[in-house]
A and B are shown apart, each in its own frame.
Chain A
Amino acid sequence: QQQVKQSPQSLIVQKGGISIINCAYENTAFDYFPWYQQFPGKGPALLIAIRPDVSEKKEGRFTISFNKSAKQFSLHIMDSQPGDSATYFCAAKREGSNYQLIWGAGTKLIIKP
């Protein structure tokens, strides 16, 4: 059963706009929430990650917001650029597990110039 639900499935944003991708989880025993970015023909690559003791983490134009009580976390891409067009995956690591990541289904983001 899917324990990390990601939305939307696809997203089109104008250049310069804000892209927002949401994830919700169903199990409170997660202790690490990474986001991966995947370009066509490439493997996913870590973009940014957060731990549940932090409500927000920002790296450049990318921000993760984390709401522990709502069991939700989201990725915000500010000033979206055509080069940001990719598929984005959220994931969650089970607490105490040996790197068992539960993956979201992915969001295909297209930034229109």
Chain B
Amino acid sequence: DAGVIQSPRHEVTEMGQEVTLRCKPISGHDYLFWYRQTMMRGLELLIYFNNNVPIDDSGMPEDRFSAKMPNASFSTLKIQPSEPRDSAVYFCASSKGFAYNSPLHFGNGTRLTVT
């Protein structure tokens, strides 16, 4: 079990550029979550998918953010255009169901810096 794989680990970009973050969930997991972590706001749920279908995107901060899950093994989070306030660590997590014994498995995150 390779765990949740995120790429890139670090991304530095200039304001106005498009940024795409990638995630490969654990095989067999049917829930996928995108979180953002900052010192000021802590862990924020941006969006989550169930069986590749977006269920709740109420945490997506603006229309500049979009997420897709074209298949069970791949998801992307896109920011276009990026702004300095988007700088954060973005985590992808997956789980098998949402029962009490189905924890979230997080990737190691993508540290995004927008200058």
Residues of A in contact with B (beta carbons under 8 Å apart): 32, 34, 36, 41-46, 49, 51, 89, 98-101, 103-106
Contact = CB atoms under 8 A, between A and B. Distances in A.
A34 to B, nearest CB: 7
Contacts of A103: 42-43
Q: B interface, by DSSP: helix, strand, loop or mixed?
A: strand
B93 interface: yes
B: contact size bracket: 20 to 34
A98 B104 contact: no
B104 A46 contact: yes
Contacts of B4: 43
Interface string B78-115: 00000000000001010100101001111111000000
B106 A49 contact: no
Interface string B29-42: 00101000000001
The 3 A-B pairs with the shortest beta carbon distances in the complex, nearest first, are: A43-B106, A46-B103, A99-B98
B106 to A, nearest CB: 3
Contacts, number: 49
Interface of B: 4, 31, 33, 42-43, 45, 48, 50, 55-56, 91, 93, 95, 98, 100, 103-109
Given A32-B100, A43-B106, A49-B103, A99 B95 contact: yes
A49 B100 CA distance: 8
A87 B63 CA distance: 31
B56 A98 contact: yes
A41 B108 contact: yes
Contact of B107 (A32, A43, A100, A101): A43
A16 B75 CA distance: 43
